[in-house]
Chain A
């Protein structure tokens, strides 16, 4: 990324937040500041903050490394030490980074984990990943088991089961690691800030219902979810970020402007699409440009729900602190079954008046990719809009074939255009 990149002021704010966070992490070992490694889906950031534990998110490190073109080397290193080509590339990137001195994407050395907080939500690889990190760092694991939403909704017994785990396992563990007693007031304080950020965040997501959409809810959306999905939810700085972001988005909407892309203002909104699947981080900007060049705006995406489905009504709740944390974990996109995912995409297509939807199938993510072709057919059937399918990977650049993806996207958008030109024609 050497050419000039256009950035909103909220983006600058976010960049500064991230930089400060990595700096803090860089000093943590020296300062004796305890840290907790944890995953994005089902992260218990407010709880960690209430113990003054610094969150470290391995997935974020991996994707940041990919965006900075560092992932290929780390993956190679992990493969050299015995990890198969088919293992999740987030994991291999992380292992490779650990083996290279654990220097984070910004160049700061990352602290060793005081605890690995494994809030498992639907992805089995998470279990194996932290087993590997445990061997790497020889540190304790605190496990929070989130039951899979096999029937499509959380039950009271599931919530009760999780609250009990939080009380009996997770909290005592965090007390031991941090040397602090659990402070319910502090947790409530962070949860209150979370809920206020979440309100604003939902308004940002829903702004895409306007025509033209002032935001891109996938490529741009990745930036919008970042503070709320990671180490900042429940902090005053995250709230300040969402206030600034909302003002910006609102202003763009008032002026009838589309989203800003890294290459400047988006032109005319020609296609409104929904995207399922994580982004391809190694070629994030290339992919965004392929969409933007066609005048395609992503109006909703499932990836922006992996760290919580706030537009479905969920809020962190200071009045029900542990219960709302449990509900949060249960409701993450990665913990949903295929019918729920299908329903979400179909609803997004309808609510956001999309012309179509695209699936980015990730080579090394079974958790996301299994069943995507079923989803494709079913959403097509329910909504009547055409689905498209392309393939890439999270952070392994070997699985991105630019010419192919471009060819497929161009074909897809031309197909949508052609169908639009002949609405009366019947499918056979």
Chain B
């Protein structure tokens, strides 16, 4: 079947989506952006295709009459085991790379201690895998780097001081994880789904029949399905680095406009707050951008601002919003300069302000800055769609609702759970349209 791919290479994460010919979302993939953009792009893209196959699998099973809890349980088990297969492929690559690194002559003097220590850490990591992907396990991150880092650190620490320094082991890890991330490993659907199927059967014999029968058949069909990439468009900050031709690259402003229109067809104004920029975009009834404003010279008040504040407060970035929502009295914060905000934060806490009140003030300051860009771009028109990573922060959303009401009156504010994919979806829609144009031209 013909598919259209959109890739959004952001400053923090790289997103990819796959659309079908009817412009329906088949699959999404996300990975952390890294020094090697080509790899980030390849990973996100292959993730999106894998996700698409799982989506297609679910469609087929539904067509077979499988519904409700049974369908969810089976596909979830299959996907979980598939992730485990992928994880193991990467873990094997990590182990090989770490052993190779440890064998280098610079470690010759400590090899007698280092090699067994490394073996012990790696064995510990391997032993942890089944629990990590057990049905009841709550996985913290989708990124191999995150899971592997915490697991490696835990085992390296538990070795104590016997012979090898913790730092030495972590240096080995750092070098190896980069190797793994920049290596093209076979994490594809077809290479990993069948062992996953076997594991899912082994995990719960009661499911065996369905998995061997209808599900197995559908899985084989989906694995064999040719997903033809009929067009691809790239966008985002790293777009010039994408392995695409110039005509296949679009500005993220246009992509966000069109992506937001696809999600909410009545969108007139889009606000996107990403890692390092804020964009206020006006679109017409077709999702075509008519004007836009974005921050220049200074990236104060963008997503990174929240990341910095979270670090300052020793919190996870996702914890900030809920904490700020508990505020009863918003503290007035004047500066949106990320660095000054850190100082102001400490100052306020010293003066006795509550953490949640200060956080509420920081969120408001951030949105105030976005309001000024919105005003410049032509205001907030109905409907108003909020996208980007910061749209997931409930306190930012609250501050936005409040300020929009104060300045523009009642507006319908749309936020999609897929908002992080807005740019990638817009890019894929452009790919679809470009393909149409190419056909007309030919």
Contacts and interface: CB of A to CB of B under 8 A. Distances in A.
Interface of A: 363, 373, 377, 380, 386-387, 389-391, 399, 401, 403-405, 407-408, 410-411, 414-415, 418-419, 422, 425-428
Nearest to A399: B297
Contacts of B285: 425-426, 428
Contacts of A426: 284-285
Interface size class of B (residues with CB under 8 A): 20 to 34
A422 to B, nearest CB: 6
Contact of B237 (A363, A380, A407): A407
A369 to B, nearest CB: 13
B253 A428 contact: no
B290 interface: yes
Given A411-B251, A418-B254, A404 B296 contact: yes
Contacts of A407: 237, 251-252, 294
Of B253, B285, B376, chain A has the most CB atoms within 10 Å of the CB of: B253
A373 B293 CA distance: 11
Contact of B292 (A403, A405, A411, A419): A411
Contacts of A415: 251, 253-254, 288-292
Contact of B268 (A401, A414, A418, A428): A428
Given A387-B291, A411-B292, A428-B284, 18 more contacts: A377-B378, A386-B291, A390-B296, A391-B296, A391-B297, A401-B297, A404-B294, A405-B296, A410-B251, A411-B254, A414-B251, A414-B253, A415-B292, A419-B288, A422-B286, A425-B288, A426-B285, A428-B290
B250 A414 contact: yes
Contacts of A403: 237
Nearest to A422: B288
A232 to B, nearest CB: 36
A85 to B, nearest CB: 13
Name, among B268, B286, B290, B296, the residue most crowded by chain A CB atoms within 10 Å (CB to CB).
B296
B297 A404 contact: yes
Nearest to B289: A415
B381 interface: yes
Q: Which of A389, A390, A411, A419 has the most CB of B within 10 A?
A: A411
B289 A363 contact: no
Contacts of B284: 425-428
Provide the main secondary structure of the chain B interface: loop
Contacts of A390: 296
Nearest to A373: B376
B296 A419 contact: no
- Most chain A beta-carbon neighbours within 10 Å: one of B288, B297, B378, B381: B297
27 contacts: A386-B290, A386-B291, A387-B291, A389-B293, A391-B296, A404-B294, A407-B251, A410-B251, A411-B252, A411-B254, A411-B292, A414-B254, A415-B251, A415-B253, A415-B254, A415-B288, A415-B291, A415-B292, A418-B288, A418-B289, A422-B288, A425-B284, A425-B286, A427-B284, A428-B268, A428-B285, A428-B290
Interface in B272-290: 277, 283-286, 288-290
Given A414-B254, A425-B284, A401 B291 contact: no
Interface in B218-256: 237, 250-254
A387 B293 CA distance: 11
Contacts of B251: 407, 410-411, 414-415
Nearest to B290: A427
- Give 7 nearest A-B pairs by CB, closest first: A411-B251, A411-B253, A391-B296, A415-B289, A414-B251, A427-B290, A410-B251
Contacts of A401: 296-297
A377 B285 CA distance: 20
B336 to A, nearest CB: 17
A421 B7 CA distance: 23
Contacts of A419: 288, 290
Nearest to B295: A404
Contacts of B268: 428
A373 B374 CA distance: 13
A262 to B, nearest CB: 21
Nearest to A380: B291
